Structures are given as structure tokens and as C-alpha cells.
Amino acid sequence: MRKTLVVGNWKMNQSLGDIEAFFTTVKASNFTDEAWIAPQALHLSKLIELAPKNFKTGAQNCSYENSGAFTGEVSPTSLKELGCEFVILGHSERRAIFKETHEELNLKVKKALVNNLKVIFCIGETLEERESGKIEAVLGEQLKKGLQGVSSSDVIVAYEPVWAIGTGVTATPAQAQETHEFVRKFLKEETELNAEETLILYGGSVKPDNAKELFSCADIDGGLVGGASLKAESFMGLYGK
């Protein structure tokens, strides 16, 4: 039985004061659902210090090596040592802005898993790719190459259509469900993951007022949320609280 999971991706947002305010509100609200948050790497310790037990803290990226001469990189071993439980890999911003390749991401996924970090592996198509009928080819390539040789139950897939990220345009529940169904079928037929057990999250302009309908679709197991995860009231609103 797959659970419903909500993960906040804070991207390069939030000050230390914002984080303190977030958890002051959460703690005053008796919020006990399982919640995952990925702050900026610099703020990971702060979250681990402040977050109540129902929160898991994770990173937005990590290196494909544990240590060495990699100036500016974040070691998966150090993330684990610090108390992180997961890492987001392959976010479309990492792929588009930082030019991360399928091969590099595959190495990162494997290295994170070896370090006992859960992996949220992101995939998604651009509007141009969707409109030219390439969704399945694009998502299939991202899954096949990024998850090559990966069979771990610690992998979660996040489908985030690039055109829905930060735009206020959400995929309709029907559009999202159709794509999630394809992703699950692809995982079953073309990868080594256990497709029925793997959580597939939806991301892209998820908000308190559309979360319930999206998350109730058969193949949508929760959300990876940017903007609406930054304020505690809105984050808890994603759970219908």
C-alpha cells in the first residue's frame, strides 16, 4: 500500500528568520503528519535542529562522489552524517540551468543510495516537448538513463512538468494522472524498480486548493511543492489542515 507524501522544495529561498517562523507556527498547530522538507544546503543543520520529529530533512542536490577535490560540491556522506534522510536529484532547474546529464544523475542516484539516503528522482517535459508529442520519449529517456541499474525501494519518482513549475499553471488532475499512469507502466516494463510500490509524486504549482484533487488520483502519491511550501499555513494546507 503506497502512502501519500508531501515534500517541500524550498529551492534558494527562506532566511533563518523565515525558518524559525515556519516551525514556530507548525509547533503551535499540533501538526503530526509526516512531512519532508529540502532547504538550501546551508540551512540543513538549522532544520535538523528546529524541526519536530514528524519532519524529515533532505538536500536539493549532492555530488556523485563521497569526498575529494570537488570545490563547491555537497558530499552525500556528509549529508547522511549531518542527519539528512533524502536528497532530490534531477530537478528540472538542475538539468536546465546547471546542465546535469542523465549519466551524471545516474551516478548521483547510485551514490546517494549507497549512503542510505532516499532519492527523489525528478523528471518532466517542457511545453515544447509536450506540444510536439514527445512526452513519453522524454520521460522514458530520463527514467531509463537516470535509473539504469537501480532497483532500490528507497527511490521516489517526482513528475514535474517544466511548464507547470512556478507558473501558477497546474496540470489538470486528468493530465497528471494520465502521465503518472504512463510513468508507472514504464517503471514496470523498462526499469528494475518495483513499480507498484514506488511513490510517484506530482510537482508544479501544487497549492492547498488543488492538492486534494491531485493527490486523490490513482497513480499520484503526493506532491513535490515549491512556492506553496514556504509558509507554514500554506504547507499544512496541502494536507487539508
Catalytic residues: 91, 160
Cα separation, 119 vs 156, whole angstroms: 6
Segment lying near ligand 13P (by CB under 6 A), choices 48-56, 79-87, 193-201, 219-227: 219-227
Q: Which is nearer to ligand 13P, 83 or 166 (CB)?
A: 166
Check: CB of residue 109 under 8 Å from CB of residue 144.
no
One-letter amino acid at 122 equals: C
Of 103-111, 135-143, 174-182, 220-228, the window that binds ligand 13P (rule: CB under 6 A) is 220-228
Burial grade of 136 (CB within 10 A; 0-12, 13-18, 19 or more): middle
Q: Which is nearer to ligand 13P, 114 or 127 (CB)?
A: 127
In the chain, DSSP assigns E strands to: 5-9, 35-38, 55-59, 86-89, 118-123, 155-159, 200-202, 222-225
Task: Provide, rounded to whole angstroms, the least separation between the CB of residue 165 and ligand 13P.
Answer: 4
**Rg, C-alpha atoms of the chain:** 17
Site for ligand 13P contains 227 (CB under 6 A): yes
Closest distance to ligand 13P from the beta carbon of 217 (Å): 17
Least distance (Å) from ligand 13P to the CB of residue 208? 12
Q: Report which residue type is found at 25.
A: T
Q: Which of 226, 235, 236, 238 binds ligand 13P (CB under 6 A)?
A: 226
Q: Which residue is nearest to ligand 13P (CB)?
A: 226
3-state secondary structure of 130: helix
d(CA 201, CA 190): 19
Residue in 75, 191, 205, 210 binding ligand 13P, rule: CB under 6 A: 205
DSSP output for 197-222: TS-EEE-SS--HHHHHHHHTSTT--E
Binding map of ligand 13P across residues 53-92, x = CB under 6 A, - = no contact: --------------------------------------x-
Output the smallest distance, CB 154 to ligand 13P, in A. Answer: 19
* 26 contributes a contact to ligand 13P by CB under 6 A: no
Measured from the CB atom, is 52 or 166 closer to ligand 13P?
166
Residue 112 has which C-alpha cell? Answer: 546517494
Cβ at position 9, least distance to ligand 13P in Å? 4
Of residues 139-198, which lie at the interface with ligand 13P (CB under 6 A)? Answer: 160, 165-166
- Angle at which helix 135-146 crosses helix 173-190, to 10 degrees, equals 40
Distances, alpha carbon 97 to alpha carbons 100, 191, 225, in Å = 8, 27, 19
List contacts with ligand 13P (CB under 6 A): 9, 91, 160, 165-166, 203-206, 224-228
